[in-house]
Amino acid sequence: MNDIERNKIMKIIETGTTYKVYGEDLVVLDNLPAQTYKVGFSQFTGFFLEKQHDLEIKEDKIYGFHEEKANKVLNRFEKSRKNLGVILSGDKGIGKSLFARLLAQKAIRNGIPVILVDNFIPGIDDFLNDIKNEVLVLFDEFDKTFARSKDEDPQSKMLSLFDGTSSGKKLFVVTCNNYRDLNEYLINRPGRFHFHFRFEYPTADEVKDYLRDKLNEKYHSEINKVASFSRKIKLNYDCLSAIAIELNEGETFEDAIKDLNIINTSERENRYNIKLFTEEGIIFTADNETLDLFSGENNSLWVDDVAGNSVRLKFKGNSVIFDNKTNVFSVSNDKINITYDDDYLEDDVKDMYKKLHYTYAEITLNYGNRIHYNLV
């Protein structure tokens, strides 16, 4: 075999004083093709990128704000001169991964490669920093895969990478279940992570829309039952999917929920906001209360008016009625009992409260994890 024939099956890469020999399938690229990669590591060769199948969306319909927000992210990234970061936080099964997949698909269509990172290996920050392409880097469950320990804080090692001092700007996307497990220098630092999208449980209207799409029409009579239940117990899309499967088999919701892996645990404890209305226009409120809305046991709690005076509201959990138009629970005046604190209230105030005409109580599920400011 002469030198010309040998060169047809051999490629040599020179790096400084080092020469590496490769087969004829070696291809040298100036830029990463717009597709999906996963970061790999070998103790012999170091870090590398391995081609993966592009992330897929299995749902026929995407619910909520995903499309609008994904376009917003890519628009800001295109206009930015440096790295852009996005935090996706919220409980499991409510849309973080779906949004990340949608964003990844749109990025590839825009010519931006996607790099998946699923674990921390020392030096990964330098490896990603050396990539000069515009890329989207996705860290799924960052709070777990880059979790802090007694000996190491992987998240802090990534801060300089997120800051964007390298050439070739990058779009960093991190998903997390609990944003409180993120490094303190990632939260409220829009210079590093410009966006923080908080994913909430589906609203009653979103539950209804989802089930209308998933259920055979002859089972639509069960939809309001599920919507009502979803205002008592937080249901994610995984739960709704399982419920839809059972309802399509002809099960009633009452029978389906008994057997599904949707159970009441201390981690799933739900809290509620309560308003007590009067004909005179005085409104009493209580927030973040634990209630039993299933049994015939009495719920008893103090509710306050704007002056800070309190009355005790009592009602049975099974007396609440769900309004499918307003998507809230209410308890009628004939189902509530009002008592007063004789030791706390002045006699004139107590007499006034006894003369009030209490009309009904309104109960809504408290989403205590809302983190953004709501300007009114």
pLDDT attached to residue 123: 93
Tell me the CA distances in angstroms from 226 to 59, 155, 239, 244, one per residue in order: 20, 40, 11, 10
pLDDT attached to residue 6: 47
The proportion of the chain whose per-residue pLDDT surpasses 90, expressed as a percent, equals 51
Q: Is the confidence at residue 368, as pLDDT, over 70?
A: no
Quick count: other Cβ atoms within 10 Å of Cβ 71?
13
Phi, psi of 293 (to 5 degrees): -105, 15
Range with the poorest average pLDDT among 55-64, 206-215, 217-226: 55-64
Confidence of residue 269 (pLDDT cuts 50, 70, 90): low
| Mean pLDDT within 255-263 | 91
169 and 84, same structural domain? Answer: yes
228 and 361, same structural domain? Answer: no
pLDDT 10s digits, 40-81: 999 888 999 999 999 998 877 887 788 999 999 999 999 998
pLDDT attached to residue 211: 96
DSSP bridge partners of 136: 114, 171
351 and 235, same structural domain? Answer: no
Domain tally for the chain? Answer: 3
Q: Is the confidence at residue 324, as pLDDT, over 90?
A: no
pLDDT attached to residue 1: 45
Quick count: other Cβ atoms within 10 Å of Cβ 329?
22
185 and 121, same structural domain? Answer: yes
Mean of all residue pLDDT scores within the chain? 87
Whether residue 167 is contained in a domain is answered as yes
> What letter does residue 55 receive in the DSSP assignment?
P
CATH of the domain at 122: 3.40.50.300
pLDDT attached to residue 265: 66
186 and 98, same structural domain? Answer: yes
Q: Is 182:147 a contact under the CB 8 Å cutoff?
A: no
Whether residue 34 is contained in a domain is answered as no
Structure-token match 């020469």, residue found? 19
162 and 276, same structural domain? Answer: no
Q: Is the confidence at residue 318, as pLDDT, over 90?
A: no
The proportion of the chain whose per-residue pLDDT surpasses 70, expressed as a percent, equals 91
| Mean pLDDT within 309-323 | 89
CA dist., res. 227 & res. 115, Å (int): 38
pLDDT 10s digits, 92-115: 888 899 999 999 999 999 999 999
HSE toward the beta carbon, residue 292, CA cutoff 13 A: 12
Q: Is the confidence at residue 2, as pLDDT, over 60?
A: no
Q: Is the confidence at residue 3, as pLDDT, over 60?
A: no
Domain with 158, as residue range(s), is: 52-198
> What letter does residue 166 receive in the DSSP assignment?
S
| Mean pLDDT within 116-124 | 93
179 and 59, same structural domain? Answer: yes
Token pair for residue 197? 């999208």
Pairing status of strand 170-176 against strand 135-139: parallel
Looking at per-residue pLDDT, the higher value among 24 and 300 belongs to 300
304 and 260, same structural domain? Answer: no
Whether residue 371 is contained in a domain is answered as no
The secondary structure of 218-259 as a DSSP string is: GGGGGHHHHHHHHTTS---HHHHHHHHHHHHTT--HHHHHHH
349 and 264, same structural domain? Answer: no
CA dist., res. 370 & res. 75, Å (int): 25
- Select from 90, 36, 33 the least CA-distant residue to 66: 90
264 and 355, same structural domain? Answer: no
| Mean pLDDT within 328-349 | 84
277 and 258, same structural domain? Answer: no
pLDDT attached to residue 165: 59
| Mean pLDDT within 180-193 | 89
The secondary structure of 248-264 as a DSSP string is: HTT--HHHHHHHSS---
327 and 214, same structural domain? Answer: no
Whether residue 247 is contained in a domain is answered as yes
Q: Is 109 helix (H, G, I), strand (E, B) or coil?
A: helix
pLDDT attached to residue 78: 94
Q: Is the confidence at residue 11, as pLDDT, over 60?
A: yes
Q: Is the confidence at residue 26, as pLDDT, over 90?
A: no
Q: Is the confidence at residue 376, as pLDDT, over 70?
A: no
Residue where a domain stops, chosen among 213, 239, 268: 268
